[in-house]
């Protein structure tokens, strides 16, 4: 069964751009919560728990108001997507406490590359020289951002790289789930299952947040709910190859928020690495637009 949505590229672009502002803001909240800005730093698993808790509350409110008719969900795809999504989010939140938001965001833009590579054995997709070249370019950018020298290596950047790989696996399940269920149903089940997983994982490390941290957790979750809603509805209204480049604006907003919130200014290495990663991702998105639908690699996903 598939769900048809009227195509509207202009609206799709606007929705994806709106999603990028929300996504970048969630990383800013995660950085504040993972450092001592708002009190004793919270564990990344507690930050991701807050993300799913308040996002689920926000989306459930929308479900109660709209009262959509849900169909029987594909539990296997939902569980797979949510498990990898939760792990990716947690790793991403852990990384932003130690490295600039722009660096972490740029590295996680490798998730479509990992999704493409995983689609070869898992979905039987074919990868031509253009796509291999795009993947290689993006990986070179990631190596630059990792700063692999004894004097400048950032171990926390490996957290962002692992997050990108895990999110690449999530994209496999998103591709399997795409078109089977309505966007609001996908959002609701994703956050329901994510909350269940995050609740079990946070128990050993949970601590009482300060009032400011409760506010930041609530903001993080609600911003993510808005981002997911914009992203899924944007993806439904245009080809992934068209909307994917607009998602790269997340990097711009992440750098802006990091500067405004923490005074962080990207250095030359950060800019070079980010530009190379985005170049590889852009080539991949352009190439996907020229492929037949069944040959296309998964598109990026909102976290």
* Phi and psi torsions of 206, nearest 5°: -65, 140
- Residue 51 exposure: Cα atoms within 13 Å on the Cβ side: 36
* Rounded Cα–Cα distance for residues 50 and 56 (Å): 10
DSSP state of 266: -
Task: Assess contact for 22 and 230: CB atoms under 8 A.
Answer: yes
Task: Assess contact for 101 and 258: CB atoms under 8 A.
Answer: yes
Q: 10 Å Cβ neighbour count for 265?
A: 11
pLDDT, tens digit (0-9, with 9 covering 90-100), for 9-25: 889 889 999 999 999 99
More confident residue, 90 or 171: 90
* Rounded Cα–Cα distance for residues 16 and 248 (Å): 10
Tokens found for residue 211: 């009032």
pLDDT, tens digit (0-9, with 9 covering 90-100), for 229-242: 898 788 778 776 67
Q: What is the DSSP string of 232-249?
A: HHHHHTS-HHHHHHHHTH
Q: Which residue has the tokens 């598939």?
A: 2
pLDDT at 298: 47
First-residue to last-residue Cα distance in the chain: 25
CA 44 centroid distance within chain: 16
pLDDT at 77: 95
Q: What is the mean pLDDT of the chain?
A: 88
Read off the pLDDT band of 300 (50, 70, 90).
low
Helix (H, G, I), strand (E, B) or coil at 258: helix
Which residues contact residue 119 at a Cβ distance below 8 angstroms, ignoring those fewer than 6 apart?
125, 172, 175, 297, 298
Read off the pLDDT band of 112 (50, 70, 90).
confident
More confident residue, 197 or 284: 197
More confident residue, 303 or 82: 82
Which residues contact residue 211 at a Cβ distance below 8 angstroms, ignoring those fewer than 6 apart?
none
pLDDT, tens digit (0-9, with 9 covering 90-100), for 243-297: 777 888 898 899 999 999 999 998 898 999 999 998 888 887 776 666 644 444 4
More confident residue, 181 or 81: 81
| Rg of the Cα atoms in the chain | 18
Stretch (H or E) spanning 168: helix 155-177
Confidence (pTM): 0.86
Task: Assess contact for 144 and 273: CB atoms under 8 A.
Answer: yes
Helix (H, G, I), strand (E, B) or coil at 125: coil
């Amino acid at each position: 069964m598939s769900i048809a949505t009227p195509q509207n590229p202009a609206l799709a672009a606007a929705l994806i751009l709106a999603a990028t502002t929300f996504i970048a803001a969630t990383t800013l909240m995660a950085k504040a919560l993972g450092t001592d800005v708002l009190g004793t730093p919270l564990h990344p698993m507690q930050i991701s728990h807050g993300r799913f808790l308040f996002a689920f509350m926000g989306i459930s409110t929308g479900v109660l108001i709209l009262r959509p008719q849900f169909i029987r969900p594909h539990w296997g795809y939902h569980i797979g997507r949510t498990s990898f999504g939760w792990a990716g989010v947690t790793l991403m939140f852990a990384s932003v406490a130690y490295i600039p938001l722009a660096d972490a965001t740029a590295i996680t833009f490798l998730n479509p590359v990992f999704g493409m590579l995983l689609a070869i054995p898992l979905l039987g997709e074919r990868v031509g020289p253009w796509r291999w070249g795009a993947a290689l370019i993006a990986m070179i950018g990631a190596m630059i951002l990792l700063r692999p020298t004894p004097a400048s290596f950032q171990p926390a950047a490996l957290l962002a790289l692992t997050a990108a790989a895990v999110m690449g696996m999530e994209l496999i399940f998103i591709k399997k789930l795409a078109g089977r269920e309505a966007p609001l149903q996908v959002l609701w089940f994703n956050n329901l299952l994510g909350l269940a997983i995050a609740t079990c994982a946070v128990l050993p490390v949970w601590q009482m947040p300060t009032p400011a941290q409760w506010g930041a957790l609530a903001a993080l979750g609600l911003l993510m709910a808005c981002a997911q809603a914009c992203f899924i509805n944007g993806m439904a209204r245009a080809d992934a190859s068209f909307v994917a480049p607009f998602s790269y604006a997340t990097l711009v907003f992440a750098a802006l928020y990091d500067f405004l919130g923490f005074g962080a200014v990207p250095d030359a290495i950060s800019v070079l690495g980010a530009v190379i990663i985005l170049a590889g991702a852009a080539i991949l998105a352009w190439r996907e637009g020229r492929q037949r639908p069944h040959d296309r690699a998964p598109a990026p996903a909102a976290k």
